[in-house]
Structure 1
Amino acid sequence: MDKVDQLAGWIEQSQRIVFFGGAGTSTESGIPDFRSAQGLYSESGQRGYSPEEMLSHRFFQREPELFYEFYRTRLLHPDAQPNSVHHLLAELEHEGKLSAIITQNIDGLHQKAGSRHVLELHGSVHRNYCISCGHTYSLDDVLAQEGIPRCPVDHGIIRPDVVLYGESLDSDVIGNTVAALGEADLLIIGGTSLTVYPAASFIQYFRGNYTVLMNASATAHDRHADLIITEPIGQIMEQIRQRRYSR
């Protein structure tokens, strides 16, 4: 049995699938990842600052204009469309087989594909709020302004509801993540090197039947996986979709 058949079989057997995904989930939608040779962190940043520094809470407070200059050009991809990964997961959720998507991504493509049970560990570019009055804004509201987006109510700075370096994850999202993993019978980990903490540590709460790890490069969790697939995740998910359609 080849690996695609193995994964397809486990998906059909399972009723509480959880998908834990990272940046590699969206690369086939044209959004660069972070840690590959072509990723965001391979760049030198802007004006002598590293990408990690420019995406920190401290930098946002100190240099909001430079933060937004980098954020707009590197992290916002409003025209990106879901790929086969997002579509298959949405289909599995609609069928009642997938109970949660846990994502480190902030692009909102899972929701765009139709998924509803999405736990966004690092927030979303689609949610924004005024740091002075708390009024909320959409991504379109942010894109409609140039430079530092300002709240029309009190002229406060609008910031994205994303977790910046130096900030903690949302406690409710953590609790729901741990609960979903503890109840899952199949864990599919896709498009992540599992090097970002504390997010990567949550997979230890999975106690189900099988762990599938789909990533182009090796990870520290490989020895714990029941199945490892290194081919492009979008191609694998599309093969599974086609096999399910042809049944």
Structure 2
Amino acid sequence: MDNKEKIERLATWIEASDYIVFFGGAGTSTESGIPDFRSAAGLYQTEHHSPYPPEEMLSHTFFMNHPDVFFDFYRSKMLHPHAKPNGCHHLLGRLEQEGKLKAVITQNIDGLHQTAGSINVLELHGSIHRNYCMDCSKFYSLQDIMAMSEMVPRCPVCGGIIKPDVVLYEEELDQQILMSSVQEISTADLLIIGGTSLTVHPAAELVNYFHGSKVALLNADPTPYDQRAGLLIADRIGEVMTQVTKLLHRD
């Protein structure tokens, strides 16, 4: 089966489904100009003037001990305030409005799903758009953080360090979000997995809660789940979903 036939089958599956759940990772946003982590062009491979590896800089211990180095990396490499949703984000938002898509479960922190109209978005790793003072808990938006001139953002009210509401290494995922994700995946009649290597745990283990027969896996590179997918499309997800949109909605 060639890619054209696979895309047509995915469109058919979507048309026949009533409870679609999407599980996505960094590859969902690469076509929006946001680098992923582990590919050849990913965040972990890019040059940065810090002597520390990205995995260390993105840990809770490092954040607490070296907030200046953390925020230098975070601001320069992880904030993409001008990124726009691509064809994948837009189709998912549209399918939710039509009542077919029930949940987006994402490992991304960029907020592009919400920008494209998705409402029920379960953010496993948090969001750059939520930031809190570690001392007084006052909330700050991404725009607030971007407007602060000092490298380490501090609360104007109490002077405490403002931490992004993102899950760092050594930190646990939100248990309520995990439970909601399990519930959504186990209820789905179609699970679309996209833009994820399925190697980051415990998030990757969530797909094992799917009990249906229709799993569509869209990822440019092989994953440990490939053999279990009923439909495997090794191509750019934004481009694929744009083609699906044309088939579904005759755009």
Taking structure 2 as the reference length, the TM-score comes to 0.96
Residue 15 of structure 1, CA deviation:
0.6
Residue 115 of structure 1 pairs with residue 122 of structure 2: no
Residue 96 of structure 1 pairs with residue 94 of structure 2: no
- Name the CA distance, whole Å, in 1 between partners of 2:19 and 2:88: 17
Q: Deviations over 1:151-202 (max 9, x none)?
A: 1110000010000001000011011000000100000000000010010011
Q: Deviations over 1:110-162 (max 9, x none)?
A: 00001000000000000000000111110001111131101111000001000
* % identical aligned pairs: 58
Equivalent position amino acid for 2:131 in 1? N
Equivalent position amino acid for 1:156 in 2? G
Q: Deviations over 1:24-79 (max 9, x none)?
A: 00011000111110000113544210000011100100000110000000000000
Q: 1:78 aligns with which of 78, 81, 85?
A: 81
Residue 244 of structure 1, CA deviation:
1.7
- Equivalent residue number for residue 178 of structure 1: 182
User: Is the 1:68–1:148 Cα contact (8 Å) retained in structure 2?
Assistant: yes
- Name the CA distance, whole Å, in 1 between partners of 2:148 and 2:210: 43
**Structure 2 residue runs without a partner (length 5+):** none
Q: Report SS of the residue matched to 1:160.
A: strand
Residue 246 of structure 1, CA deviation:
1.9
Residue 18 of structure 1 pairs with residue 27 of structure 2: no
**Structure 1 residue runs without a partner (length 5+):** none
Residue 221 of structure 1, CA deviation:
0.6
User: Is the 1:86–1:110 Cα contact (8 Å) retained in structure 2?
Assistant: yes
Residue 208 of structure 1, CA deviation:
1.6
Question: Where in structure 1 do 4 or more consecutive aligned residues deviate above 2 Å?
Answer: 43-47
List aligned pairs for 1:21-100, cutoff 5 A: 21-100=24-103
Equivalent position amino acid for 1:164 in 2? L
- Superposed CA RMSD: 1.0
More displaced stretch, 11-20 vs 203-212: 203-212
Equivalent position amino acid for 1:113 in 2? A
Residue 217 of structure 1 pairs with residue 213 of structure 2: no
- Name the CA distance, whole Å, in 2 between partners of 1:182 and 1:195: 20
Q: Report SS of the residue matched to 1:61.
A: helix
Q: 1:162 aligns with which of 140, 163, 166?
A: 166
User: Is the 2:192–2:217 Cα contact (8 Å) retained in structure 1?
Assistant: yes
User: Is the 2:15–2:248 Cα contact (8 Å) retained in structure 1?
Assistant: no
User: Is the 1:19–1:189 Cα contact (8 Å) retained in structure 2?
Assistant: yes
Aligned residues: 247
Taking structure 1 as the reference length, the TM-score comes to 0.98
Q: 2:11 aligns with which of 8, 12, 17?
A: 8
Equivalent position amino acid for 1:116 in 2? I
Q: Report SS of the residue matched to 2:128.
A: strand
- Equivalent residue number for residue 195 of structure 2: 191
